[in-house]
């Protein structure tokens, strides 16, 4: 446990930020899982709606530093490929 007042404050701030980051990453993962479930069902309309939400969350996460911008780009690319495969089938 820190003894200095500023160190105590830093512990509180880092805990709050960690919780915020954890919530953001969890929401991102949930949106991607919803998209994957829609693709697995073969439901084009539901997949398109989930795709828009997932891409928006990926962009937001990259902007806020939750994921690296190249990671977000790679994941968006794989989501797009999966969405296009639903249309082809």
pLDDT of residue 29: 97
Structure letter (DSSP) for residue 4 = S
d(CA 39, CA 51) in angstroms, rounded, equals 10
pLDDT of residue 88: 67
pLDDT of residue 1: 84
pLDDT of residue 87: 74
79 CB-near residues (< 8 Å, 6+ apart): 32, 35, 51, 54, 55
82 CB-near residues (< 8 Å, 6+ apart): 35, 36, 39
pTM here is 0.86
Q: What is the mean pLDDT of each run of 10 residues along the chain (89 residues)?
A: 94 97 97 96 93 97 96 97 85
**All domains of the chain in start order, with CATH:** 26-88 (1.20.58.110)
């Amino acid at each position: 446990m820190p003894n200095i007042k500023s160190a105590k404050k830093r512990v509180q701030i880092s805990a709050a930020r960690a919780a915020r980051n954890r919530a953001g990453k969890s929401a991102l993962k949930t949106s991607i899982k919803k998209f994957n479930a829609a693709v697995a069902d073969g439901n084009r309309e539901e997949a398109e709606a989930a795709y828009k939400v997932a891409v928006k969350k990926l962009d937001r996460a990259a902007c806020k530093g939750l994921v690296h911008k190249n990671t977000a780009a790679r994941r968006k690319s794989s989501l797009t490929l999966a969405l296009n495969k639903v249309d082809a089938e």
